Amino acid sequence: MSHSGAPGSDPREPDDGPQEREPDLTESDTAAGPPIGFLPDAEFETETLTLASGDRLYLFSDGVLEAENEAEEFFGVAGLISVIEAKRDLGLEESIQAVAESTREWQDGRALDDDLTLLGVEFF
């Protein structure tokens, strides 16, 4: 898989080959720059990662990371990774639902300031 994109990261569960392995979350180090399509001549770095059967890729909008609680603290990458790690034994759809619910709980019932877009892909 190759990707490039806007600021933020995409927590992924990468493959280390066919041997038995502990699940691991990896953040993108290259997903930086302006949003794709925002500037006509923008250039982006590309990162390549090999994914195998059972690996998952989570893509999300900045509304997930920038969800604020009453103390005006962001949910952030740490919050997102924490939920994904805690819910890794769930099915893909349930894990995405858990991220959405945790983000809303983080906001202490406050209205969303931005969209909350999540996409999960599981490789077979």
Please tell me which residue, 110 or 21, carries the higher pLDDT value.
110
Amino acid 29: pLDDT: 59
Q: Are 53 and 124 in contact (CB under 8 A)?
A: yes
HSE of 99 in the Cβ direction (CA atoms, 13 Å)? 29
Model confidence over 54-104: pLDDT tens digits?
899 998 888 899 999 999 999 999 999 999 999 989 999 999 999 999 999
Model confidence over 92-107: pLDDT tens digits?
999 999 999 999 999 9
Amino acid 15: pLDDT: 47
The Cα 35–Cα 16 span in angstroms is: 30
The Cα 34–Cα 38 span in angstroms is: 7
Question: Poorest-confidence range of 1-10, 34-43, 61-70?
Answer: 1-10
Q: Supply the pTM of this predicted model.
A: 0.72
